[in-house]
Structure 1
Amino acid sequence: MGTLYVVATPIGNLGDISKRALEVLNEVDLIACEDTRQTIKLLNHFGIQKPLTSYHEFNEEKKAGELLSRLSNDRSVAIVSDAGTPAISDPGYRVVRLCRERGVPVIAIPGPNAAITALSVSGLPSDEFMFAGFPPAKKNARREKLMSLANVRCTLIFYEAPHRIDDMLEDMQDVLGDREVSIAREITKVHEEHLFGKLSQLRPQVKALGEFVIVVSGATETRQAPLTREAVLKTLGMSRNQLYDLFFKK
């Protein structure tokens, strides 16, 4: 029986890779990665030559079975993501779960993680926190997600893409209120930036460039979700026409 290694790789600065990660990548029979073009750059930098196979969100279910077959034939496999720790808002958990169910050894090779790195320098409480990953891309779904977290009292951590950061911060302020927040951009890279303050203060300062980690303080009091027409109709169990008739019929 082979072994599955879940290997963390740098989130920006290649100097952050661990000696143990390099040893494992040198020793395994196969490396499964999100994007072979990204991983080959990392391997070339460290002089590592190994067979690669793509393993991403669109083929994860199918590929998990293929990787299990290799592991069952005494082949060792490493899973890496484009940056950071696999299975943390990245592909990986399906093959890990499959291996656990089939008794295949799974070993973590710890290392960089953007969420934990951003939290460590946020200045916000870190004894208890919730990682919420990437919020939904569509506005209504995103606001609904934020509403579900509005009364969580621990620190919240989100990832966000540059083309949605402005909308995300606007929705956060509307739904969560003007909370303390730490916004990290391009962590460990040349243009790394950290902003600290209230949401209302930081929104105008944010440059929509690079990948973001948003760390926001938890709720200090129970917050009522914003009332919308849709929410009223759903609560009353009425259509818009029924509500109109109720208020305007003579």
Structure 2
Amino acid sequence: MRETSSRERRDKILEILIENDQIRVSSLCKLFNVSRETIRHDLIRLQEEGLIIKEHGSAALNRESILDIDFAKRARDHAVQKRRIGLEAAKLIKDGETIIIDSGSTTPHIARNIRNIKSLTVITPSLKVTSELGGKEGITVIMPGGIFNPTGYSLYGPQTEEFFPKINANKLFLAIHGVDIERGLTEINIQIAHLKQVMINSAKEIILVADSSKFGKVEYAGVAPIDKVNTVITDRDLDKGIAEGIQSLGINLILV
């Protein structure tokens, strides 16, 4: 096994715990061919981030920090990257703004990491986002009506779409299934695609939050050209050619 950086090692440890819930320190030492002290430092760092619980001779996943990871397989896929994307996106939120946060498995991480806000209005079709923000002082959460989507824990449909044209939001944090330089933003469901179009038209600034696995994919339902987006936040595994294509369009690209 090639030598890994501490960050890569921590990411891998978290991925292992997402799949297995718990692992022995001795097993991690053998897997990465490093000392117990090195693994101990990794586990301390992960515990400080709220991702794991250190136990005697082992580590366990802090499932609450992974946002009810069993609600859908999507939440397990690229969980580390999604958490980092959400953390970075939350830094772009300013006091006094009205923002739209899309549904998806990345966007609840944005809600979880909103800090130091005295006044904020959040409009969202996501029950997961609403749950994360519930009870946070200074944050007003507005949900449109609509049809419940049990796969995404969100609302959609005509009633949801009718709500957004009344809104003038500062920012939209948009999730998506497919991103392609030529074909733009695409979705697997035409009704969800139409809802995203309506949300895009209701915000001044569009911030796309998607892990690198979504790039280079084209789904059947078109949403918008990629140049509708002002900022893309994704992980460092993004293909270099795609990254250059995004930047060539004048889109701000943030890699985490």
> Could you state the TM-score of these two structures normalised by the residue count of structure 1?
0.31
> Could you state the TM-score of these two structures normalised by the residue count of structure 2?
0.30
Structure with larger Rg: 1
- Give the number of the structure whose residues are more often strand, by fraction: 2
The structure, 1 or 2, with the larger RCO (C-alpha pairs under 8 Å, 6+ apart) is 1
